[in-house]
Structure 1
Amino acid sequence: MHSTQNARINQITSSTLIVGVDIAKFKHEARTQDFRGVELGKPLAFENTQDGFELFVSWFRKISTESGFEDVTSP
């Protein structure tokens, strides 16, 4: 692992929501998990548009608030 990867891993705490996005040309897929790798909420498929991005942001903010996370990061 590179030192930057180790630094990012060290930033993850029990209050961190991890958001992963599989990007594609037209439709993206997103998932969330906690620091132990437990998936939270349902996966989200969203389009590569402004409306799709706004849907994505509101989706992970809702999960973050409902689950009590203070930090959000992506791998």
Structure 2
Amino acid sequence: MKDANSVLQRKEYGRIRLKLREQLDARGMTRNFLARKIDARFEVVDKWYSDQVEKIDSDILARICYVLQCRVEV
């Protein structure tokens, strides 16, 4: 029997919202520039920028935070 509170049974369990677009725009920084700085493909940065990341890569996240001198917050 499955637990009724299982994440697989719940319809709405929340979502992580990425704010890379706001961070880059506020700094006047382009996605191409960030991609070069973090040694990643433009397409990777574009997914983060568009808040369309399916799986969080902690290494990419750490590199983005290092370049932008920011941190992950709740």
TM-score, normalised to structure 2's length?
Answer: 0.30
Higher helix share: 2
TM-score, normalised to structure 1's length?
Answer: 0.30
Higher strand share: 1
Higher-Rg structure is: 2
Determine which structure has greater relative contact order: mean sequence separation of CA pairs < 8 Å that are 6+ residues apart, divided by chain length. 1
